[in-house]
Structure 1
Amino acid sequence: MTAVPVPVSRTGARVERLPLARFTTLGVGGEAEVWFVSTLEQLREAVEAPYRVLGGGSNLVVSDGGVPERVLRLTGQLAEADLTPDPELSTSDTVVTGWVGGGVPLPGLIRKLQKLGLSNLEGTVGIPAQVGGAVWMNAGTRYGEMFDGLHTLEIVTPGSVRHLTPDDLNWGYRQSDLPRGHVVSRVRLKLRHSTSEAVLAKMDFADLARKGQPKMKTPGCAFKNPGGVSAGKLIDEAGLKGARVGGAMIAPEHANFIVNLGGASSADVHALLGLIRERVGVPMELEYELWPGEA
């Protein structure tokens, strides 16, 4: 098979054609042109052509055929975190940090904040995302979400770098209202003083609620809770726990999770999603993002 050529970046970004399965928590997905961008200059070049941003790879089901667009991974400077309090923006009650890159892994960030005794984001403990993706979808749990701890958002297009605050956006449950065609390059966090022990106790409490979730390869929760009713409960009541198509299965531990038993394809996962929608009998809105789009 003839290798697909990849472009050479004029700003020094590393560009390779790679299987996206290696970057997703589900472990499925075909090839794409992957851009590893480490500076704002490289990021602005990368978004000059049609693109998608791949963060921690959770909440994502990628087609077996990959995607035609270039796929961006934030690295280097865009994956660093300055948690030093900004003296001009911080107060006796509130700490506003320096810039935190969109490519920073969220779990490691939460642990650093805990050690510093800084509160507001511990409710997101256990979410396997990067900061930019977590902001984009306002990732969270019943105990907290990303917008609880945001002060400023930096978003990038080929022609601009803009700074927004949460007040500029109509954000809500699992959505940020950020305009399409922008990448979250960096954020400043808005946190409260606490103690490392108090923050850890809140993290442990939030994490306890996740103990029943499957430990296998999974993108996370498949569907949003319709009308405040547990999606997992509805799927369980439809008798679908343990249902399997190929290498994909609806998890016996929690029916709102689809897991990769080994060798699953994107087609297997789509088949299970369709089965759930058919059998549950009420409109179910996906929490997963599907690449390249809805089947």
Structure 2
Amino acid sequence: MTATPESRTGARVQRLALARFTTLGVGGEAEVWVVTNHEQLAEAMEEPYRILGGGSNLVISDQGVPERVIRLSGPLAERDLTPDPDLSDPDRIVTGWVGGGVPLPGLIRALQKLGYSNLEGTVGIPAQVGGAVWMNAGTRYGEMFDGLHTLEIATPAGLRVVTPDDLRWGYRDSGIPRNHIVTRVRLKLQKRTPEEVLAKMTLADTARKGQPKMKTPGCAFKNPGGVGAGRLIDEAGLKGTRVGNALIAPEHANFIVNLGGATAADVHALLDLIRQRVGVPLELEYELWPGEVQLGASLPAQWALEPT
């Protein structure tokens, strides 16, 4: 086994099973770097890496991954929701920096108590802010880009600060390249009463009541052409199908759950079965590890600016 390196900048480095960091609860070992500042993050990014936040929407191989895995902590997992006086007015709030490692559910609860609206549609998503922004997580009631003002992104060439207008974002896609890390964001929010925000959160949360409560990465497939992927899987007669200890959820066929002791191989077998049996092409919403990892790749045209 390769020796675990020591960090020259003080990052905490350990070899750990990744299953403990995922909502599905599967995944083998990797070298995990817990970083608390930009200097530690820059060091961690010197070798091939992956970023792991809340671990939702993710299926990790039973063999783990060969790259180092980065997790944001300390100041990169703190939030400042104080309105910026130069950018805010009585109706619109632009916050201070919110770290990419901040858990999204706690952030949404804090915004509700302050009466800050725009992100209610993301209620119940078990992610960290950075990952939720990277994939533009959301529901039919709203998505992360509804409430973003500014993004700070670590790239192989250095830090960049951009706005949503700089990105080609869309449905479940931020337009941010795969080997870039959302380190912090500023939120753009509307001032409402806490009761008004709670009402919107309740509406979005009620729509999730039929979703399974067991360990799951979330929705397996994107809805093709406005048709519910869950409905297509159900019509193919696959709801409740089990491979090993992984199950297509009886509550909602677009969810795969871990009954306890499931493996990534079990989950992959179910995903393959769904694609074989459903009559239309389905695009995965899950991210599968390992997959292609790039380090220092060429940037798309919209990123061809000097780092700030």
Length-normalised TM-score, structure 1? 0.98
Aligned amino acid, residue 242 of structure 2 = R
Identity %: 80
Partner of 2:206 in structure 1? 208
Quick check: 2:50–2:179 contact (8 Å CA) kept in 1?
no
Query: Which structure 2 residue ranges, 5 or more long, are not aligned?
Result: 293-308
Aligned amino acid, residue 125 of structure 1 = V
CA deviations 1:103-146 (Å, max 9, x no partner) are: 00000000000000000001100000000000000000000000
Within the candidate set 277, 280, 284, 1:279 is matched to 277
**Structure 1 segments of 4 or more deviating over 4 A?**
none
Within the candidate set 49, 68, 88, 1:70 is matched to 68
Q: Distance in 2 between matches of 1:158 and 1:213?
A: 38
Query: Which structure 1 residue ranges, 5 or more long, are not aligned?
Result: none
Aligned amino acid, residue 69 of structure 2 = V
Q: Given the alignment of the two structures, is residue 289 of structure 1 paired with residue 287 of structure 2, yes or no? A: yes
Partner of 1:183 in structure 2? 181
Corresponding residue SS for 1:240: coil
Corresponding residue SS for 1:174: coil
Q: Distance in 1 between matches of 2:274 and 2:178?
A: 29
Corresponding residue SS for 1:189: strand
Aligned residues: 292
What are the equivalent positions in structure 2 for 1:1-295 lying under 5 Å apart? Answer: 4-293=2-291
Q: Distance in 2 between matches of 1:260 and 1:64?
A: 14
Quick check: 1:44–1:159 contact (8 Å CA) kept in 2?
no
Q: Distance in 1 between matches of 2:95 and 2:195?
A: 21
Quick check: 1:99–1:188 contact (8 Å CA) kept in 2?
yes
CA deviations 1:7-43 (Å, max 9, x no partner) are: 1011100000000000000000000000000101111
Q: Distance in 2 between matches of 1:64 and 1:240?
A: 24
Structure 1 vs Structure 2 CA RMSD: 0.9
Q: Distance in 1 between matches of 2:96 and 2:211?
A: 34
Q: Distance in 2 between matches of 1:159 and 1:97?
A: 27
Q: CA deviation at 1:100?
A: 0.2
Aligned amino acid, residue 82 of structure 1 = D
Q: Distance in 2 between matches of 1:215 and 1:64?
A: 23
CA deviations 1:63-108 (Å, max 9, x no partner) are: 0000000001100000000000001111232100000000000000
CA deviations 1:185-210 (Å, max 9, x no partner) are: 00000000001111011101100000
CA deviations 1:133-179 (Å, max 9, x no partner) are: 00000000000000000000000124411100000011000000012
Q: Distance in 1 between matches of 2:160 and 2:197?
A: 32
Q: Distance in 2 between matches of 1:180 and 1:198?
A: 36
Quick check: 1:138–1:176 contact (8 Å CA) kept in 2?
yes
Q: Distance in 2 between matches of 1:44 and 1:190?
A: 28
Q: CA deviation at 1:214?
A: 0.3
Q: Distance in 1 between matches of 2:119 and 2:245?
A: 35
Quick check: 1:45–1:158 contact (8 Å CA) kept in 2?
no
Q: Distance in 1 between matches of 2:175 and 2:209?
A: 31
Q: Distance in 1 between matches of 2:92 and 2:198?
A: 19
